[in-house]
């Protein structure tokens, strides 16, 4: 505490005239010194401020009698701050017998501060007890925002627990991306672990398991993602749920595949498979939010990352928080460019292999992708020790149209389907083609238990009506469900299977690309150079199915295969 004469009566009156606010509070006497110290504690934890003794709540300057006992009692309560507080005290004469006591504190350099064992915060002109979650976050920042967990040696972790091929693959990718010196030996996995600062004195660090742990590795509860697809807007009823454990690359693959599985595709149909904007919530924005969730989470916290898909939103929850200097209300405006990674070793490796695009630019990517898609910016908040990022899903009407965006690619001339032709088979065909656009006529016949001739006739009905289009050769091509089916000028009393076909096409016309093909394309974009056996693991599909999907993507110029059959891999065409 410092005693100074820096505030005179004139300055004091001017200060009082502005009234109480976020940085000024009045107390009538030092009998309220405990309340005053709680407010000073709140000022220390925010932007600093001043408490004035000898002023009524209405702003009337009265002063008070000040004795040695008054000063001693005030100094005693000041000793209850932890860490010790830098308090400036001015004694201002109001009249011959009364003084005002002006106590001023700056924004604290060692936040969070507590008074008498409790932390306080300032909300406008009120002082409240700080929540434990906010206190812990500030305490971690005081100790250093970087988490020591990733850099902690783990003697139980051995090279048998590490996917050494993934280490080398990541290095090759980093060289290919121009972010790792080509002179680095990309075939020396152990040397690469040292280069990535994931070993110290021959002992692996926890960060090595996060990035490159294999199925044999020690189980960490942090290395898990829990995913849920819910009916409606609450978590009362699961439609699908998955718990996946693994390194960050596997968790990213699984999380993005889950998004592609349960989010709608845009209505746009081009000559090629759509890129990120094909998802109703841009995949690039989702990917960036998920990377942030895994890269910047608090690994000292053993809770998992959550991905939840609701009817109206997508939520991503990651244990941890932002530095207290970050204003969450202005998180995306302007996007942050001063990156302070909590886990710099993990973040560096993800940056090298381009999972993190540019240091500190992730929020800008999210904002740009959402704006480009015509969506509102996601909301990011702190809840129960999690950073929760919420993307609003576009509202869809009964016809499947996006009510939140005017699609400039809607069909100008909707096609009508004759309700009197085709029987029940076309409806079943559409359902099957949506699930598997790669399916052959023979397999269609087997699945629907009808003759190939019947399948051929039914497909002709759908093609003549403009409902489906065959793209590519007879062997290896793809069925596309195309165009909007109009219900206009139709007899409402007709209720035939063909009408059901039209209604179903309208409701689900966005689902135009096979789930396997989408997942394969997303995996290739996320992990350039990925090999076909890895794609099999991600999708759970057979070698033949992956071969067909890869061949199709190559024909559509979405991907290309670089290198030899043995050492090469798949890359997305930019």
Q: Cβ contacts of residue 521 below 8 Å, gap of 6+?
A: 273, 553, 558, 559, 572
pLDDT of residue 342: 79
CATH class of 226-392: alpha beta
Q: What pLDDT digit, counting tens, does each position of 429-468 carry?
A: 777 776 566 677 777 777 777 888 888 888 887 777 667 7
Please state which of the ranges 300-314, 342-356, 540-554 shows the lowest mean pLDDT: 540-554
| Spatial contact of 572 and 558, defined as CB atoms under 8 Å apart | yes
Q: Where residue 550 falls among pLDDT bands split at 50, 70, 90?
A: confident
Q: Where residue 329 falls among pLDDT bands split at 50, 70, 90?
A: low
Peptide bond preceding 83 in cis form (omega within 30 of 0): yes
Q: What pLDDT digit, counting tens, does each position of 51-82 carry?
A: 999 999 999 999 999 999 999 999 999 989 99
The residue count of the chain comes to 574
Task: Please indicate whether residue 44 or residue 351 has the higher confidence score (pLDDT).
Answer: 44
**pLDDT greater than 80 at residue 181:** yes
Q: Where residue 43 falls among pLDDT bands split at 50, 70, 90?
A: very high
pLDDT of residue 423: 53
CATH 3.40.50.300 at 2-130, yes or no: no
pLDDT of residue 348: 86
CATH class of 515-572: mainly alpha
- CA-nearest of 351, 358, 339 to 180 is 351
425-508: CATH topology = Arc Repressor Mutant, subunit A (1.10.10)
Q: By CB neighbour count within 10 A (0-12 exposed, 13-18 middle, 19+ buried), where does 391 fall?
A: buried
Task: Please indicate whether residue 559 or residue 404 has the higher confidence score (pLDDT).
Answer: 559
Q: For the chain, report the end-to-end CA distance as a whole number of angstroms.
A: 62
pLDDT of residue 349: 92
pLDDT of residue 438: 63
| Spatial contact of 361 and 351, defined as CB atoms under 8 Å apart | no
**pLDDT greater than 50 at residue 2:** no
Q: Structure pTM?
A: 0.50
Q: What pLDDT digit, counting tens, does each position of 471-491 carry?
A: 655 555 667 665 333 333 333
Alpha helices (H) in 353-509, listed in sequence order: 362-372, 425-435, 441-448, 452-464, 497-508
Please state which of the ranges 160-169, 345-354, 559-568 shows the lowest mean pLDDT: 559-568
User: Two tokens at 527?
Assistant: 């992990």
Q: Cβ contacts of residue 457 below 8 Å, gap of 6+?
A: none
Q: Where residue 155 falls among pLDDT bands split at 50, 70, 90?
A: very high
Q: What pLDDT digit, counting tens, does each position of 489-499 carry?
A: 333 333 334 34
- List the chain domain ranges: 2-130, 226-392, 425-508, 515-572
pLDDT of residue 146: 58
pLDDT of residue 186: 93
**pLDDT greater than 50 at residue 416:** no
Task: Indicate if 515-572 has the same CATH topology as 226-392.
Answer: no
Q: How far apart are CA 45 and CA 38, in angstroms?
A: 11
């Amino acid at each position: 505490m410092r005693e100074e004469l820096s505030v005179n009566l004139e300055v004091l009156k001017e200060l009082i005239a502005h009234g109480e606010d976020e940085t000024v509070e009045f107390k009538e006497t030092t009998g309220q010194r405990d309340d005053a110290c709680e407010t000073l504690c709140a000022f220390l934890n925010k932007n600093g401020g001043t408490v004035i003794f000898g002023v009524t709540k209405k702003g009337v300057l009265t002063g008070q009698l000040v004795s040695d006992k008054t000063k001693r009692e005030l100094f005693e309560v000041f000793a209850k701050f932890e860490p010790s507080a830098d308090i400036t005290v001015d004694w201002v004469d109001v009249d011959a017998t009364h003084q005002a006591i002006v106590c001023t504190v700056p924004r604290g350099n060692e936040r969070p501060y507590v008074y008498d064992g409790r932390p306080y915060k300032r909300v406008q002109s009120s002082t409240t007890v700080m929540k434990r979650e906010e206190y812990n976050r500030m305490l971690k920042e005081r100790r250093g925002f970087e988490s020591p967990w990733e850099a902690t040696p783990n003697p139980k972790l051995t090279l048998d627990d590490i996917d050494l091929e993934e280490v080398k693959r990541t290095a090759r990718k980093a060289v290919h991306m121009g972010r790792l010196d080509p002179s680095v030996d990309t075939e020396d996995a152990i040397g690469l672990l040292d280069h990535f600062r994931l070993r110290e004195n021959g002992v692996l660090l926890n960060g090595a398991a996060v990035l490159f742990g294999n199925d044999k590795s020690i189980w960490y509860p942090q290395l898990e993602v829990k995913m849920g697809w819910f009916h409606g807007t609450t978590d009362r009823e699961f439609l699908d749920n998955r718990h996946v454990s693994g390194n960050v690359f596997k968790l990213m693959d699984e999380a993005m595949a889950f998004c592609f599985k349960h989010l709608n595709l845009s209505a746009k149909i081009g000559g090629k498979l759509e890129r990120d904007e094909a998802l109703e919530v841009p995949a690039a924005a989702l990917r960036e939010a998920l990377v942030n969730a895994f890269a910047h989470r608090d690994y000292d916290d053993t809770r998992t990352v959550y991905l939840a898909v609701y009817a109206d939103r997508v939520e991503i929850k990651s244990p941890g928080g932002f530095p207290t200097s970050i204003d969450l209300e202005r998180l995306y405006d302007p996007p942050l460019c001063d990156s302070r990674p909590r886990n710099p070793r993990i973040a560096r490796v993800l940056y090298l292999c381009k999972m993190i695009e540019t240091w500190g630019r992730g929020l800008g990517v999210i904002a740009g992708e959402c704006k480009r898609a015509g969506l509102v910016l996601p909301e990011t908040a702190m809840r129960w020790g999690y950073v929760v990022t919420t993307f609003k899903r576009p509202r869809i009407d009964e016809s499947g149209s996006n009510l939140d965006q005017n699609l400039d690619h809607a069909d100008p001339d909707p096609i009508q389907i004759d309700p009197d032709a085709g029987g029940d088979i076309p409806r079943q065909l559409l359902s099957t083609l949506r699930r598997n656009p790669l399916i052959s006529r023979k397999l269609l016949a087997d699945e629907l238990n009808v003759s190939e001739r019947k399948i051929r006739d039914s497909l002709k009905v759908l093609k003549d009506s403009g409902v489906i289009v065959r793209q590519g050769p007879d062997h290896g091509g793809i069925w596309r469900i195309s165009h909007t089916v109009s219900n206009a000028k139709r007899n409402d009393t007709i209720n035939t299977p063909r009408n059901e076909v039209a209604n179903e096409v309208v409701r689900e016309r966005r689902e135009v690309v096979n789930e396997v093909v989408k997942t394969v394309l997303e995996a290739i974009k996320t992990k350039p150079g990925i090999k076909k056996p890895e794609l099999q693991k991600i999708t759970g599909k057979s070698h033949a199915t992956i071969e067909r999907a890869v061949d199709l993507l190559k024909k559509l110029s979405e991907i290309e295969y670089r290198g030899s059959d043995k050492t090469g891999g798949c890359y997305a065409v930019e």
